[in-house]
Chains A and B, each alone.
Chain A
Amino acid sequence: AQSVSQHNHHVILSEAASLELGCNYSYGGTVNLFWYVQYPGQHLQLLLKYFSGDPLVKGIKGFEAEFIKSKFSFNLRKPSVQWSDTAEYFCAVNFNYGGSQGNLIFGKGTKLSVKP
């Protein structure tokens, strides 16, 4: 069965530190990849997406992610975090194969706490 793994459950950083959150998925075929963010008290919002093309994608608020097909990975990065980045981050994958319903498979999420 398809699955998505996020390596870190809770990450604590100080402001201005660099961030990298890991995401790996199980399927080796064509995939559409997403990172969603959920700020405290708010709903899931799209941070960035990858469908095809340049494997380095840029999203909102200075986030970027790199798709490495050979490693089945889609890691999220930000060079310098801010206190306002405190949130929960979810990696999600649409496994694009014949009969795919278009639904997303989510990782368990990573809580990021940024200390001011």
Chain B
Amino acid sequence: DTGVSQNPRHKITKRGQNVTFRCDPISEHNRLYWYRQTLGQGPEFLTYFQNEAQLEKSRLLSDRFSAERPKGSFSTLEIQRTEQGDSAMYLCASSLVVGASYNEQFFGPGTRLTVL
């Protein structure tokens, strides 16, 4: 399967713990996006990378959220000191953007986080 993969698929944690999620994009894609989806809502944009550069992070929900894409390939999303309100599905998507062109985003299966 050469699609976007995410690990783990499910994560249950206790309030106050730190969690990290991983996303492996489609191999030739240079853009990687993180979204959050809560029940009854569409995905909400959090941050994105072009290669290893994080070009937008103002939409991250708080300073407890951070993301990295150290070598321009896989990415990690970390949530520190988790709260019950962080319970959601965290989605990763990737796309190939060349110059001023725009292409569709391909989504992974998501990581479902439950904070107890």
Chain A: residues with CB nearer than 8 A to chain B? Answer: 4, 32, 34, 36, 42-46, 49, 51, 90, 92, 94, 96, 101-109
Contacts and interface: CB of A to CB of B under 8 A. Distances in A.
Contacts of A90: 42-43
A94 B104 CA distance: 10
B55 interface: yes
Interface residues of B, number: 24
Interface of B: 31, 33, 35, 40-45, 48, 55-56, 59, 91, 95, 97, 102, 104-110
Contact of A107 (B35, B42, B108): B42
Contact of B104 (A4, A34, A106, A108): A34
A27 to B, nearest CB: 15
In the complex, the 4 A-B pairs of residues with the closest C-beta atoms, listed nearest first: A106-B42, A44-B107, A103-B45, A43-B109
A51 B45 contact: no
Contacts of A96: 102
Contacts of B110: 43
Nearest to B41: A108
